[in-house]
Amino acid sequence: MKISDKYAHIRQETVTFCSHLQVEDYSIQVVQFASPPKWHLAHTTWFFETFVLIPYLQDYTPFNSNYNFLFNSYYNNAGERILQANRGNMSRPSTENIYGYREYVDAKMQELLKNNYDQKIIDLVILGLNHEQQHQELLITDVKYMLGNNPLFPVFNEGFNLVNDKNTKTESIKINAGVYEIGYQGTAFCYDNELGVHNVYVNDFEINNYLVTNGDFIEFMEDGGYSDFNLWLDEGWSWVNTHKITSPLYWHKIKGEWHYYSLSGLQKVDKNAILSHIGYYEANAYAEWKGMRLPTEFEWEIAAPRMAWGKRWEWTNSAYLPYPNFKKENGALGEYNGKFMSNKMVLRGASVATSKNHSRSTYRNFFNPTERWQFTGIRLTKSL
């Protein structure tokens, strides 16, 4: 597929998802970490305008001189920006105007990409498309958070459940102790945090080839899992008590039965479906309750070729840190991953919300240990 066709296809996928929104939905920001759909539509467009069109398309005129301030996310090198918590305050510019912005930038991008074989530009466009795919997943999870906090639990799309997947495997996998290579070694796209191939030594371990189900987690809950401090890390125990956490995100007990919100509405919890929307502290406490543990990100990557994965982002027991020889790029693009390597835990795999062709066994996702709005789950392991 030509890069211009790939660009058009991926950009259209964002618009197609948003076609299920109502106009009132576009500007809503329920909480700081969940951005409004309108902001996602604009920010992903700003990325191409700022890092591709302005430097490389001769005589390019920005769509609106205020948009760098409004739609820059965290790139200090790109200039001033609004606070993340204020993204939902922008009733203006209108949603119609933002779609006009996308159309303007898309037309200019096609103009630039026509018969353009400059590898530096192509590499930037590929990075921008992967960035767009990240925001496609964030759009799904942010919209779910928005509608899941609506007291009416509205349906986004009848056929868009995303939490009804079942395990297809039941066995466990034994991995022998030894030295293994970690990191991305291909020639296609990857993020800089996957680079720096290096050796790690692991002891013998066994890892489940299936994820924890809702029914499994209900057993933990009914056994007092959320009230037994012996199971929790100290910060996790403080979080549970401060925020009165007693169940996974989106779960509600109605007339004695557990229900959860999905993008297809409020439904009874399917005990056989794979657990979702769980934080690291909850995952770690559940592992402690089971007498097992979470895998390290290295154990996960070593076992990945033999595992069924891709339904949930899987918490690991590894802090998000740089690989040996990790080096940030100069300028704004160097802020993409490196500056977040503190106080976050690594998740591996992908989820049902991850865009197609946007997952690798070396992909290192990362979130704060309390964050649960992504489609996160639990895979257990044990040392032998």
Closest-CA residue to 40 (of 90, 76, 2, 78): 90
Closest-CA residue to 111 (of 42, 43, 61, 41): 61
Q: What does the block give as tokens for 179?
A: 């030295």
The predicted-structure confidence for 91-134, as pLDDT tens digits, reads as follows 999 999 999 999 999 999 999 999 777 999 999 999 999 999 99
Q: What is the pLDDT of residue 329?
A: 79
The whole model's pTM is what? 0.95
271 CB neighbour count, 10 Å cutoff: 13
d(CA 249, CA 123): 38
- Return the C-alpha torsion angle 204, 210, 211, 214, nearest 10: -140
Q: What is the pLDDT of residue 239?
A: 98
Packed helices 37-48 and 119-148: angle between N→C axes, nearest 10 degrees: 170
d(CA 232, CA 225): 9
Q: What is the pLDDT of residue 189?
A: 94
The pLDDT tens digits along the chain (384 residues) read 899 999 999 999 999 999 999 999 999 999 999 999 999 999 999 999 999 999 999 999 999 999 999 999 888 888 889 898 999 999 999 999 999 999 999 999 999 999 777 999 999 999 999 999 999 999 999 999 999 999 999 999 998 999 999 999 999 999 999 999 999 999 999 999 999 999 999 999 999 999 999 999 999 999 999 999 999 999 999 999 999 999 999 999 999 999 999 999 999 999 999 999 999 999 999 999 999 999 999 999 999 999 999 999 999 999 999 999 888 777 767 767 778 889 999 999 999 999 999 999 999 999 999 999 999 999 999 999
Burial environment of residue 305 by CB neighbours within 10 A (0 to 12, 13 to 18, 19 or more): exposed
**Which amino acid belongs to residue 134?**
Q
Burial environment of residue 331 by CB neighbours within 10 A (0 to 12, 13 to 18, 19 or more): exposed
CATH topology of domain 172-383: paralog of FGE (formylglycine-generating enzyme) (3.90.1580)
Closest-CA residue to 378 (of 259, 258, 282): 282
Give the domain ranges of the chain: 3-148, 172-383
d(CA 178, CA 198): 14
Closest-CA residue to 162 (of 364, 372, 312): 312
Q: What is the pLDDT of residue 333?
A: 77
